[in-house]
């Protein structure tokens, strides 16, 4: 039998009625001839509640016990989903991560998947089981302890199972009906994409689009797992949602497929740094060690033998960056005149694989922003992405103007 992986997020299994609705979708795919692996998240709000219990009990908690507690929400949902399917006369059973077993490394709270043996579940399919309901977000370490994959890890669980079992497809059911050209809350004319390439989705996810966890898209691209994002709350439609697939499966590549906006950005500039070999390593080494996620980087010559270094990072990491750079200066690793931070910026990004073959996208973007009176503070580009930092107050205006200029409402 062909295998289909179906993942249901927290809002899709938030109540018993929603679990029943999801189970009916699973039953329909079983009737279509699939053996189904269902990956479930905890019921909406449950993980946050469990995290709160841990923090209240032990602020300096043991990460192994943290994983034991917060992974329990998925176990509950998996059991309830299996019971619901059994009531529908669909042969199903639940599987916790250790029962599969989903093997991970020992990085509690942010574990990486190392192996998913298929023997146990395939044996049960061979005995007549039609649905394996797997608790997402969790696995087991080499030491035999429960691990978790980080928030949003059920997406990664689902894609990993699809890759391990060579599934026909991995359907991600959520509270949105697909991937849009931009955030519909910012631009009412945002349109749903029928297809989007892995690389484009990876860029959008890393730039702030919250439809899929970044690691899940990376995994899907690496193993060629076709993903479909669709809503749990709409009526059945075999062509619903957005398909995330290889570039060659898309007939025509537009220069821009989507626009991402991230308000939680900061711009930091080190003034009057020595212009010498190794200075960049001296600056960004301590930032990496401090866990600061640096994104856009620009170096300017300010005066003879001196340079200015500008970079962006998440706004909630500014104090960490200041402390790391100050400590490095105190240790004599490098010196600088002043550290200037701007915590009122937003990152606006155009993404599209069509940029590889079509010129003029950057020039058009800059002209549109100029016409709206929006000053660009920093620019960074890649083969399929152009990102700029602008004043945060212009976020909506920038997105709307660019969406109109590139006619994304006609996607």
Which residue ranges make up the annotated binding site for ATP?
7-10, 174-175, 180, 185, 210-211
More confident residue, 182 or 213: 182
| CATH code for position 160 | 3.40.1160.10
The whole-number pLDDT of residue 339 equals 93
Chain-centre distance for alpha carbon 35: 27
- pLDDT, tens digit, 9 for 90 and up, residues 121-138: 999 999 999 999 999 999
**232 within domain boundaries:** no
| CATH code for position 398 | 3.30.2130.10
The whole-number pLDDT of residue 299 equals 86
Q: Is the pLDDT of residue 393 over 70?
A: yes
Question: What is the count of structural domains for the chain?
Answer: 2
Which residue ranges make up the annotated binding site for substrate?
47, 74
The whole-number pLDDT of residue 3 equals 98
**Do 289 and 164 share a structural domain?**
no
**227 within domain boundaries:** no
Q: What percent of the chain has pLDDT over 90?
A: 78
**Do 41 and 145 share a structural domain?**
yes
Per the listing, tokens 């994959």 go with: 149
- Give me the half-sphere count of Cα atoms (radius 13 Å) on the Cβ side of residue 324: 20
**88 within domain boundaries:** yes
**19 within domain boundaries:** yes
Which residue ranges make up the annotated binding site?
7-10, 47, 74, 174-175, 180, 185, 210-211
Mean pLDDT over 3-18 rounds to 96
- pLDDT, tens digit, 9 for 90 and up, residues 226-263: 999 999 888 877 778 999 998 888 876 788 999 999 99
Q: What percent of the chain has pLDDT over 70?
A: 98
Domain endpoint, select from 153, 175, 197: 175
The domain of 39 spans: 3-175
Domain endpoint, select from 152, 175, 198: 175
**128 within domain boundaries:** yes
φ, ψ of residue 322 in degrees (nearest 5): -60, -45
**Do 9 and 141 share a structural domain?**
yes
CB contact at 8 A, 312 and 296: yes
Mean pLDDT over 287-295 rounds to 92
**198 within domain boundaries:** no
**197 within domain boundaries:** no
- pLDDT, tens digit, 9 for 90 and up, residues 164-188: 999 999 999 988 889 999 988 899 9
Domain endpoint, select from 127, 150, 175: 175
**Do 59 and 170 share a structural domain?**
yes
- pLDDT, tens digit, 9 for 90 and up, residues 54-101: 999 998 999 999 999 999 999 999 999 999 999 999 999 999 999 999
Instruction: Give the DSSP per-residue string, 237-294.
Output: -TT-SEEEE-GGG-S---S--EEEEEEEEEEEEEEEEE-STTHHHHHHHHHHHTT---
Q: Is the pLDDT of residue 208 over 70?
A: no
**Do 146 and 14 share a structural domain?**
yes
**304 within domain boundaries:** yes
Confidence of residue 411 (pLDDT cuts 50, 70, 90): low
């Amino acid at each position: 039998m062909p295998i289909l992986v179906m993942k249901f997020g927290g809002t899709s299994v938030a109540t018993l009625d929603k679990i029943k609705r999801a189970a009916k979708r699973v039953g329909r795919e079983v009737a279509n001839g699939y053996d189904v692996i269902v990956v479930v998240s905890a019921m909406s709000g449950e993980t946050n509640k469990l995290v709160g219990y841990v923090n209240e009990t032990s602020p300096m908690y043991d990460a192994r016990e943290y994983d034991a507690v917060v992974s329990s929400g998925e176990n509950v949902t998996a059991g309830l989903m299996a019971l619901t399917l059994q009531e529908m006369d669909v042969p199903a059973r639940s599987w916790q991560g250790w029962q599969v077993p989903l093997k991970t490394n020992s990085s509690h709270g942010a574990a990486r998947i190392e192996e998913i043996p298929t023997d146990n579940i395939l044996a049960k399919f061979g005995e007549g089981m039609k649905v394996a309901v797997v608790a997402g977000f969790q696995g087991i370490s080499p030491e035999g302890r429960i691990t978790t994959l980080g928030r949003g890890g059920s997406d990664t669980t689902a894609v990993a199972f699809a890759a391990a079992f060579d599934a026909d497809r991995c359907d991600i059911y959520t509270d949105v009906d697909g991937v849009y050209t931009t955030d519909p809350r910012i631009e009412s004319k945002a349109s749903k994409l029928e297809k989007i390439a892995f690389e484009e989705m990876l860029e959008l996810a890393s730039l702030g689009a919250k439809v899929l966890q970044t690691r899940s898209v990376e995994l899907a691209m690496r193993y060629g797992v076709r993903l479909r994002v669709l809503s749990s709350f709409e009526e059945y439609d075999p062509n619903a949602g957005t398909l995330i697939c290889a570039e060659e499966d898309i007939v025509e590549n537009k220069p821009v497929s989507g626009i991402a906006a991230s308000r939680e950005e900061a711009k930091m500039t080190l003034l009057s740094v020595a212009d010498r070999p190794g200075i960049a390593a001296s600056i960004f080494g301590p930032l990496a060690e401090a866990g600061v996620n640096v994104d856009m980087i620009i170096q300017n010559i300010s005066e003879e033998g001196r340079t200015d270094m500008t970079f962006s990072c998440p706004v909630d990491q500014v104090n960490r960056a200041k402390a790391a750079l100050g400590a490095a200066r105190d240790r004599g690793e490098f010196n600088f005149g002043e550290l200037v931070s701007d915590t009122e910026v937003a990152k606006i990004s155009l993404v599209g694989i069509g940029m590889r073959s079509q010129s003029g996208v950057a020039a058009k973007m800059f002209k549109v922003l100029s016409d709206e009176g929006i000053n660009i503070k920093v620019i960074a580009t890649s083969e399929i992405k152009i990102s700029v930092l602008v004043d945060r107050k212009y976020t909506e205006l920038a997105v709307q103007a660019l969406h109109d200029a590139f006619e994304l409402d006609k996607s």
